[in-house]
Amino acid sequence: MLHVIIILIQVENNYLFDPNLLEEICMNETTTYLKGGVSLSNPGEGLKLRPLSADDFAKGCYLDLLKQPNLVGQIFTETILSRFNLMKSTPSTYFIFVIEDLEKQKIVASATVVVERKFIHECSSRGRIEDVVVDEGYRGLQLGKLLVVVGEFLSKKLGCYKTSLECSDGKVEFYEKVGFKIDGKHMVKRFSS
């Protein structure tokens, strides 16, 4: 019996954050229409929404997903796991969640919520949704919308007074459909490509 308990703890510790946090999200207040019954508990047939796991790097599937729209570069396993553990060591800051195709054991979509602590708004926090990616073969299934809505409600559950995101001009219409508005004040200065 003790052996089983150790295995369960080890598996749960592989997640970046506690999976119960996603299960506690109530999306009843969303004004975003998701077709086909897509929801947090049912992202699609054979799909599961869950926190990022350290095991996703061993499979190689998470970095393959991120490479589709981004420059990831060559990263060694030690660097990846070091970064994962650093993020995990700040449990109230980084929330990367993924959608896995269970049959293919492949990560097909992902998004990140980063919680930024502020002095303004009575020392409140701001949520930032970043790195929303859906695998090319899974687009059109409402997964991008689902990720953004989950990110929004996760930010709210974490006590954030607002949730923001950055996007290219070509994605503005998509984010407007899920309730985000352009706030002309957001500027970015990049230090590398």
Q: Span 147-166, mean pLDDT?
A: 92
Nearest C-alpha neighbor of 151 from the set 90, 110, 122, 183: 110
pLDDT for 67 = 85
pTM over 0.75: yes
Interatomic CA distance for residues 136 and 108, integer angstroms: 9
Q: Is the pLDDT of residue 9 over 50?
A: no
Q: Which H or E run includes 134?
A: strand 125-134
Higher pLDDT, 108 or 7: 108
Other C-beta atoms lying within 10 Å of the C-beta of residue 29:
8
Q: Going by C-beta distance under 8 Å and a sequence separation of 6 or more, which residues neighbour residue 145?
A: 32, 34, 38, 177, 178
**Residue matched to tokens 């749960």:** 12
Tokens of 63: 């970095």
Select from 3.30.70.1020, 3.20.20.70, 3.40.630.30, 3.40.50.11890 the CATH code of 14-22+41-177.
Answer: 3.40.630.30
Interatomic CA distance for residues 152 and 52, integer angstroms: 17
Interatomic CA distance for residues 94 and 129, integer angstroms: 10
Q: Span 64-88, mean pLDDT?
A: 85
Q: Is the pLDDT of residue 192 over 70?
A: no
Each domain of the chain, given as residue ranges in start order, spans 14-22+41-177
Q: What is the pLDDT of residues 103-144, one digit of tens each?
A: 999 999 999 999 999 999 899 999 999 999 999 999 999 999
Q: Categorize the per-residue pLDDT at 10 as very low, low, confident or very high, splitting at 50, 70 and 90.
A: very low
Higher pLDDT, 147 or 170: 147
Helix (H, G, I), strand (E, B) or coil at 162: strand
